[in-house]
């Protein structure tokens, strides 16, 4: 969410940013906010004047009563009553205008970084760099669920009966591989200085609206009926929420945390062959990383975060590339974002396995996460990135480590988490 003062003083900058994100339908919101803000400040000024007059008039009544001028005192009392009624109206108006301004401001996108490429949607995202040589074996690679089924490692039919589409049972070595990847990712991030955390898997609405846009919330979140609770779509939600309404001392920054959680997503609009199997699902597990830092440090942390994901995948011999998200593909709160994509030998293309985002002070402003600087308080910057999210990551892992005889190699880094196994046999 933008600073209202910034919008008031720079409406053309805000409108130009909206155009860069190809959200021209939101241009009118800027003028609407400016008009509501004008009304709000006028109401506040009038209310402040009435409050200032209240003490003066009270003293005047006392003086008139002391002088025996009861009739004049009653006239002044009538003025006090009228002013009190008007003040109550103004206070109600201020609250109403404030709520309207807040709701509109939450729909206006954050100012993107100047380095972000301009484009309408994800088809115009820009490849930055490739890591590792994509390999295409001389044998056919089956669809990922077929690979798993050969190890009796997945049961989609039973899951469909129990929970519906978008769910799965993982079993045997595939289930163990899933857990091994999570454990390895946890230790990988701890070794890089991050503090391990297991957060709440449900959050209140004030946290939801603090960490994401309304559009994202509607597309992703599952609501717990009858309670002010939502199932998290990623542990970033809980982890950033951990700092809600806090004032952090500079000496305690940066806060670098890595968290494990199950994740629950509606996946509205998911369709097509790659949404079958375990690519797009309603429930999965994930290792995440978040940073809360000084504003001037956020871009440095941004580069460190996506590099962590690249390094983890390369340590497992999986070729990846980084992809810069264009302006139209950025969620409204994001300043800059890079996706990490893994190579799929079967599809002969890369697919997303992680996303790194710098949100500037947008989440901090909504959640009131402030830094107590020497010159006063100011909002922190927040960032998040996927360490690894199986079972989607398993697709890349299985395809890139599959042998012609149907067995799967276990990279050396993962073997301690697989009981020393070097290979998964049929």
Average pLDDT over the chain reads: 91
pLDDT at position 159 is: 92
Q: What is the mean predicted confidence (pLDDT) over 191-203?
A: 97
Show the tokens assigned to 228: 């002010």
Q: What is the mean predicted confidence (pLDDT) over 204-213?
A: 91
| Per-residue pLDDT tens digits for 128-187 | 999 999 988 999 999 999 999 999 999 999 999 999 888 999 999 999 999 999 999 999
Highest mean pLDDT among 61-65, 169-173, 277-281: 169-173
More confident residue, 387 or 80: 387
Q: What percent of the chain has pLDDT over 70?
A: 91
Give the distance, in angstroms, between the CA of residue 202 and the centroid of all CA atoms in the same chain: 15
pLDDT at position 214 is: 73
Q: Which domains does the chain have, with CATH numbers?
A: 4-105 (1.10.287.40), 122-424 (3.30.930.10)
Q: What is the mean predicted confidence (pLDDT) over 29-35?
A: 97
CB atoms within 10 A of CB 197: 16
Q: Would the pLDDT of 317 be above 80?
A: yes
Q: What is the mean predicted confidence (pLDDT) over 342-360?
A: 96
| Per-residue pLDDT tens digits for 221-247 | 999 999 999 999 999 999 999 999 999
pLDDT at position 232 is: 95
| Per-residue pLDDT tens digits for 356-374 | 999 999 999 999 999 999 9
Q: What is the mean predicted confidence (pLDDT) over 411-417?
A: 96
Q: Which of 294, 289, 352, 291 is nearest to 320 (CA)?
A: 352
**Residue with tokens 């012609």, as numbered in its chain:** 404
pLDDT at position 98 is: 94
């Amino acid at each position: 969410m933008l600073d209202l003062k910034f919008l008031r003083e720079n409406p053309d900058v805000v409108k130009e940013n909206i155009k860069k994100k190809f959200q021209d339908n939101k241009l009118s919101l800027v003028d609407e906010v400016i008009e509501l803000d004008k009304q709000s400040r006028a109401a506040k000024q009038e209310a402040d004047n009435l409050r200032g007059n209240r003490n003066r008039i009270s003293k005047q009544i006392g003086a008139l009563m002391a002088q025996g001028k009861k009739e004049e005192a009653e006239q002044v009392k009538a003025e006090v009553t009228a002013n009190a009624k008007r003040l109550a109206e103004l206070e109600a108006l201020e609250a109403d205008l404030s709520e309207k301004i807040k709701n509109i401001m939450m729909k206006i996108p954050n100012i993107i970084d100047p380095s972000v490429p301009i484009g309408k949607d994800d088809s115009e995202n820009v490849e930055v760099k490739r890591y590792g040589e994509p390999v295409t074996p001389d044998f056919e690679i089956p669809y990922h669920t077929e690979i798993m089924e050969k190890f009796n490692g997945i049961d989609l039919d039973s899951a469909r009966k129990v929970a519906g589409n978008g769910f799965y049972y993982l079993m045997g070595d595939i289930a163990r591989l899933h857990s091994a990847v999570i454990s390895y990712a946890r230790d990988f991030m701890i070794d890089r200085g991050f503090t391990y955390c297991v957060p709440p898997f449900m959050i209140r609405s004030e946290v939801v609206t603090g960490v994401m846009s309304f559009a994202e919330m509607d597309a992703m979140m599952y609501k717990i009926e009858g309670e002010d609770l939502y199932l998290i779509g990623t542990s970033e939600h809980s982890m950033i929420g951990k700092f809600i309404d806090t004032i952090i001392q500079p000496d305690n920054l940066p806060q670098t945390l890595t968290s494990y959680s199950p994740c629950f997503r509606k996946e509205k609009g998911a369709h097509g062959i790659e949404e079958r199997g375990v690519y797009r699902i309603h429930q999965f597990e994930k290792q995440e990383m978040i940073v809360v830092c000084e504003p001037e440090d956020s871009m440095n942390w941004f580069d460190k975060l996506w590099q962590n994901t690249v390094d983890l995948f390369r340590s497992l011999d999986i070729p990846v590339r980084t992809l810069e998200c264009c302006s139209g593909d950025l969620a409204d709160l994001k300043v800059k974002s890079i996706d990490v994509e893994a190579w799929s030998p079967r599809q002969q293309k890369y697919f997303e396995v992680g996303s790194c985002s710098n949100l500037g002070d947008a989440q901090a402003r909504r959640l009131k996460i402030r830094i107590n600087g020497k010159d006063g308080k100011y909002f922190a910057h927040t960032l998040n990135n996927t360490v690894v999210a199986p079972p989607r990551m398993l697709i890349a892992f299985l395809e890139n480590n599959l042998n012609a005889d149907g067995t799967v190699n276990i990279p050396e880094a993962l073997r301690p988490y697989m009981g020393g196994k070097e290979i998964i046999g049929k």
